[in-house]
Amino acid sequence: MAAAPIYLDHQASTPCDPAVVAAMAPWWTERAANPSSRGHRPGLDAAAAVEAARGRLAAALAVPAEGVVFTSGATEADNLAIKGLAEARLDRGRHLITVATEHRAVLDPCRYLERLGFALTVLPVQPDGLLDLDRLAAALRPDTVLVSVMAANNEIGVLQPLAAIGALCGRHGVAFHCDGAQLVGHGPLRPLELGIDLLSLSGHKFGGPQGIGALVLAPGVTVAPQLHGGGQEGGRRSGTPPLPLIVGLAEALDRALADAPSRGVRLLALRERLRVGLEALGGVSLNGALTPRLAHNLNVTVAGVEGGALHRQLRRWLAVSGGSACSSGEPSHVLQALGRSRHEAAASVRFGLGRDTSEADIDGALAVVSRLLQDLR
Ligand SMILES: Cc1ncc(COP(=O)(O)O)c(C=O)c1O
């Protein structure tokens, strides 16, 4: 059997922490119950476990627990934030602002609303991937109801200036939504201190299970529900709350944040080892600003090779990606927004390091890329 590829796609999904799996275990089996079944003891225990998890998540993010709405992940949280906020503020205006490098879970709901008659401004980014605040300020209009800017980019890892964006939105009375899927669990992110009104997050990006996330709302911010039914989550998101996943989400966030500083230092050193090693091969150039950037992300364009051939060869040895896991094979819209051609975007590689990444993984990846470049060029 062929050896398993070296897994360097932790930004697409990182393995569930075994301690999180253990914390979830009883809630799948002997303690399983519907948290909405308040007529018996197991149901009441389930409801208490959901509320305890909500409290833990809220404490980790320094928000009131009432603001936490559990969702199936960041895609759903982004949809609820954007469509729900736009619908709740129909009387205030119909203009939305977002950024060209956002995840499709943000861009597509915005475009959907545009088809329904909303005005949409999609701001470009600078060549380093960062938003120009003057452009944002100039794009604000009296009828702007929402600005959506991500915390950390899923492809190039650059960190947007959230506090400045939050302050600007606050001064104009515009809601600020932030897709925090790639930053939550990896560094401190206190939405209220940054002026963020709506924050999306996703468990499987920080050692929690897939299929669970949350939308976190600042006090006083309301969204129109996008899933109608039993009225769970304070009427904001109907559907049986997935008890084991919710328990796992809270456990994972606490665990991820507890060792985030030391993990960050270790992964930064490994990421730099990888970057320096790749750049030494020649014709390999970095995408996005080196700082401010997630410690565990690297994204490079390789000159002199065809993207399809590069990735076909790479995948035999490495689990890496050419862009977002959700972008269905098209050359990355993020890299093209930085000014890369379609050809260059296709010949680009995202490396996402994670908790288990070792020096041997990095050296193995460098050896693979070095060998393939010799063959392909
Ligand atoms: C920035 C960002 N937003 C949204 C998502 C979607 O998250 P989920 O898989 O939880 O729906 C991802 C995952 O790739 C992401 O990186």
| pLDDT tens string 286-304 | 999 999 999 999 999 999 9
Is the pLDDT score of 376 beyond 60?
yes
CB atoms within 10 A of CB 359: 11
Mean pLDDT, residues 332-359 taken together: 97
Number of domains comprising the chain: 2
Residues 248 and 265 in one domain: no
Question: Which of 82, 103, 159, 160, when mutated, tests ligand 1's pocket best, judged by the most ligand atoms within 8 Å of its CB?
Answer: 103
| Structure-token pair, residue 338 | 């930085």
Percent of the chain at pLDDT > 70 equals 98
Q: Does some domain include residue 180?
A: yes
Among residues 341, 295, 300, the alpha carbon closest in space to that of 321 is found at 300
Residues 6+ apart with CB under 8 A from 68: 54, 57, 58, 214, 216, 217
- What's the 164 CA to ligand 1 centre distance in angstroms? 23
> Final residue of a domain: which of 232, 258, 284?
258
Q: Are residues 232 and 305 in the same domain?
A: no
Report, as an integer, the average pLDDT of 324-335: 75
Query: The domain that contains 303 carries what CATH number?
Result: 3.90.1150.10
**Overall average pLDDT of the 139-148 stretch:** 98
Cβ contact 219:73 at 8 Å: no
Of 355, 15, 16, nearest to 186 by C-alpha is 355
In a domain, 322, yes or no: yes
User: Is 54 part of any domain?
Assistant: yes
> Which of the listed residues 195, 226, 258 is the one where a domain comes to its end?
258
Q: Which atom in ligand 1 lies closest to the alpha carbon of residue 153?
A: 1
Same domain assignment for residues 269 and 216: no
Distance in angstroms (rounded) separating the CA atoms of residues 130 and 151: 11
Radius of gyration from C-alpha coordinates of the chain? 21
Give residue 377's pLDDT.
81
Same domain, 11 and 25: no
Share the mean pLDDT of the chain. Answer: 96
Q: Hey, what are 223's tokens?
A: 């969204």
pTM: 0.97
Confidence category of residue 328, pLDDT binned at 50, 70, 90: low
Is 367 part of a structural domain of the chain? yes
Instruction: Please tell me the predicted confidence (pLDDT) of residue 323.
Output: 63
Indicate whether 84 pLDDT > 90. Answer: yes
Whether residue 350 is contained in a domain is answered as yes
pLDDT on residue 143: 98
For range 349-355, the mean pLDDT: 98
Do residues 94 and 219 both lie within one domain?
Answer: yes
Per-residue pLDDT, 330 = 86
Same domain for 25 and 154, yes or no, is: yes
Does residue 282 lie in a domain region?
Answer: yes
Check pocket membership of 208 for ligand 1, CB cut-off 6 A: no
Beta bridge partners, 293, equal: 158
| Same-domain pairing of 149 and 226 | yes
> Would residue 1 count as lying in a domain?
no
Q: What number of residues does the chain have?
A: 377
Do 251 and 166 share a structural domain?
Answer: yes
Is ligand 1 within 6 A of the CB of residue 202? Answer: yes
User: Quick check: CB of 73 below 6 Å from ligand 1?
Assistant: yes
Q: In angstroms, what is the span from residue 76 Cα to ligand 1's centroid? A: 9
Q: Would the pLDDT of 1 be above 70? A: no
Residue 16: active-site member: no
* Residue 244 shares a structural domain with residue 116: yes
pLDDT digits over 163-187, tens only? 999 999 999 999 999 999 999 999 9
Please work out whether the CB of residue 103 comes within 6 Å of at least one atom of ligand 1: yes
Same domain, 221 and 266: no
Q: β-pairing, 175-179 with 198-202? A: parallel
Residues 189-222: tens digit of each pLDDT = 999 999 999 999 999 999 999 999 999 999 999 9
Is the beta carbon of 72 within 6 A of some atom in ligand 1? no
Phi-psi region of 233 (alpha: psi -120 to 50; beta: other; left: phi over 0): left
Q: Which residue has the higher pLDDT, 323 or 357?
A: 357
Last residue of a domain, one of 258, 274, 309: 258
Checking if the pLDDT of 75 tops 90, the result is: yes
CATH number of the domain bearing residue 94:
3.40.640.10
Distance 243 CA to ligand 1 centre (A): 21
Q: What's the pLDDT at 322?
A: 86
My answer on whether 213 and 254 are in the same domain is yes
Asked, for residue 318, whether it belongs to a domain, the answer is yes
What's the mean pLDDT in 40-60? 98
Residue located nearest, by CA, to atom 11 of ligand 1? 75
Q: How far is the CA of 182 from the centre of ligand 1 (A)?
A: 8
Q: DSSP per residue over 169-228, as a string?
A: HHHHT-EEEEE-TTTBTTB---GGGGT-SEEEEEGGGTTS-TT-EEEEE-TT-----SS-
Q: Residue 11: its pLDDT value, please?
A: 98
Q: Give yes or no for residue 309 CB within 6 A of ligand 1.
A: no
* Per-residue pLDDT, 183: 98
- Choosing from 75, 334, 350 the residue with most ligand 1 atoms within 8 A of its CB, the one to mutate for a pocket test is 75
| CA distance linking residue 284 with residue 89, whole number of Å | 47
Distance from C-alpha of 303 to C-alpha of 373, rounded to nearest angstrom: 10
Cα 132 to chain center, whole Å? Answer: 21
Domain housing 371: 7-15+259-376
Query: Looking at the structure, do residues 247 and 333 belong to the same domain, yes or no?
Result: no
